Amino acid sequence: MGKTLFDKIWDAHVVQNIPDGPTQLYIDRLYCHEVTSPQAFDGMRARGLRCLRPQQIFCMPDHNTPTHDQDRPIADPVSRKQVETLARNACEFGLTHYGMMSPDNGIIHVVGPEKGLSLPGMTIVCGDSHTSTHGAMGAVAFGIGTSEVEMVLAAQCILQQKPRSMRITINGNLGKGVTAKDVALFLMARITTSGATGYFVEYAGEVVRQMSMESRLTLCNLSIEMGARGGFIAPDETTFTYLQGREFAPQGEAWERALAQWRTLKSDDDAVFDRELVFNAADIEPRITYGTNPGMGIGITESVPEQGDVNFFKSLSYMGFRAGERLLGKKIDYVFLGACTNGRIEDFRAFASVVKGRKKAEGVVAWLVPGSWAVHRQICAEGLDRMLADAGFEIRQPGCSACLAMNDDKIPSGKYCLSTSNRNFEGRQGPGARTILCSPLVAAAAAVTGVITDPRELL
């Protein structure tokens, strides 16, 4: 019987299988940010340990960083301490650190791929559930807890139960105005936020093959919102073209060797998955969420469901929506473009394509936050910053920002935010904030009209 790509990568990294226990898995790459690492470094100090393979570990602050005046000290002393603690720990343990205002800084899940640090065939972890993003490179990448961060710092391994395998195939072609974000929101609504728990997902099919790297990163990013530990896409020419020449990608002869090896990274034709799901692109339209988990979503022209259980009505009450209501035309207050989900150059191009020839709507507050300084530089190089400025939009400085509101970018209680981030949990964007998840196109359509609008009418 053939092997899945997940099996191939996993098996190549097994150090040992503990009898009636987890697997000791070798980790190629660890990323550390400031929120989930300090206690792991404390643990290392308490045990008197040094990092086993420091050259495989990269650190950068992203969650607490303000999106303005990054050249000045962070005003919130608690945030500042956490960011400074990461810098100190990286220095003490001999790890590469891209600090705030470094031209290499940004959201870990944006920076890793764009610097060529995340490569096909790798095992990649970070104390962050959206580590699944890096699966787009053809890697087995997943989020871990702080105890597990400490394991990798100390031993370059973690103990992990092997997940089951799932393949999600999306056939056909995406329609106008339908993006990777809509595909992911569609999948969550179909299989719920726990439908893939216990599984590692391989995305396949015509739709996935046609996707750019940026779109693949968005799709894999959201794997965790279906409960999956991770999601990945077998590497192909799109992946290799994206990687060639990037700072940490192999160069010269090493590139040729890597390429030959990466071309073998695919599931065998006769591989059997524990679960197979097949969807058709024609069933997917631009989507929005109406509730307080990412699976509570609808096509933008559809209505909120009529029926539900106690959890459903608790969500609707928080959101201020009625069962059976249509959301098109609803007034909104904030728009957030960014996050590890949609903070890449393609997302800014998409947003700008809707804004072009229009102005920001009166009364809408819009936060446009690039995922990294590299994205910021590209936005400026393409003149998108000037075009957006003329339309009333300002490009801010990079970081996680309003995705989880650990910095000052908080949505006020009761306000509606059309957000390209990944979670619409209660209070995620600030206490009482009401988050509606969507693609950059839907966000832009709302930003220029002031109401929830089908972007296909503006394209």
Partner 1 sequence: MKQKFDIITSTCVPLPLENVDTDQIIPARFLKATDKEGFGDNLFRDWRYDKEGHPIANFVLNDPTYGGCILVAGRNFGSGSSREHAAWAIAGYGFRVVISSFFADIHKNNELNNFVLPVEVSEDFLAELFQSIQDNPQMQVEVNLPAQTVTNLATGRCETFAINAYKKHCLMNGLDDIDFLLKNVETLPPAPPLHGGE
Question: Which residues from 254-313 bind partner 1, rule CB under 8 A?
Answer: 254-255, 257-258, 261, 293, 309-311
Task: Select from 112, 177, 227, 299 the one that contacts partner 1 (CB under 8 A).
Answer: 227
- Which residue, 151 or 446, has its beta carbon nearer to partner 1? 151
Task: Select from 194, 210, 241, 244 the one that contacts partner 1 (CB under 8 A).
Answer: 194
Torsion of CA 393, 398, 404, 406, to 10 degrees: -110
Provide the minimum distance between the beta carbon of 26 and partner 1 in the complex, in angstroms, as a whole number. 7
For tokens 């000037």, what's the residue? 386
Write the DSSP symbol of residue 282. Answer: G
Provide the minimum distance between the beta carbon of 386 and partner 1 in the complex, in angstroms, as a whole number. 34
Site for partner 1 in 229-258 (CB under 8 A): 229, 248-250, 254-255, 257-258
Task: Select from 61, 113, 121, 440 the one that contacts partner 1 (CB under 8 A).
Answer: 121
Provide the minimum distance between the beta carbon of 197 and partner 1 in the complex, in angstroms, as a whole number. 6
> How far is Cα 363 from Cα 198, in angstroms, rounded to an integer?
44
Site for partner 1 in 48-77 (CB under 8 A): 49, 52-53, 56, 63-64, 76
Contact assessment for residue 100 and residue 65, using Cβ atoms and an 8 Å cutoff? yes
> How far is Cα 257 from Cα 241, in angstroms, rounded to an integer?
15
Applying CB under 8 A, the site for partner 1 has a residue count of: 85
Site for partner 1 in 414-453 (CB under 8 A): 423, 425-428, 431-432
- Which residue, 164 or 326, has its beta carbon nearer to partner 1? 164
Contact assessment for residue 380 and residue 408, using Cβ atoms and an 8 Å cutoff? no
- Which residue, 27 or 458, has its beta carbon nearer to partner 1? 27
- Which residue, 262 or 351, has its beta carbon nearer to partner 1? 262
CB-based contacts of 119, cutoff 8 Å, min separation 6 = 137, 139, 243, 248, 249, 250, 258, 262
Task: Select from 68, 81, 176, 377 the one that contacts partner 1 (CB under 8 A).
Answer: 81
Helix, strand or coil, per DSSP, at residue 291: coil
Element (H, E) at 374: helix 373-381
Residue 22 found at the interface with partner 1 (CB under 8 A) = yes
Site for partner 1 in 322-381 (CB under 8 A): none
Write the DSSP symbol of residue 198. Answer: T
Which residues are registered as beta bridge partners of 367?
Answer: 336
- Which residue, 123 or 453, has its beta carbon nearer to partner 1? 123
- Which residue, 89 or 453, has its beta carbon nearer to partner 1? 89
CB-based contacts of 35, cutoff 8 Å, min separation 6 = 63, 64, 82, 127, 406
Residue 385 found at the interface with partner 1 (CB under 8 A) = no
* Residue in 40, 129, 107, 38 with CA at minimum distance from that of residue 79: 38
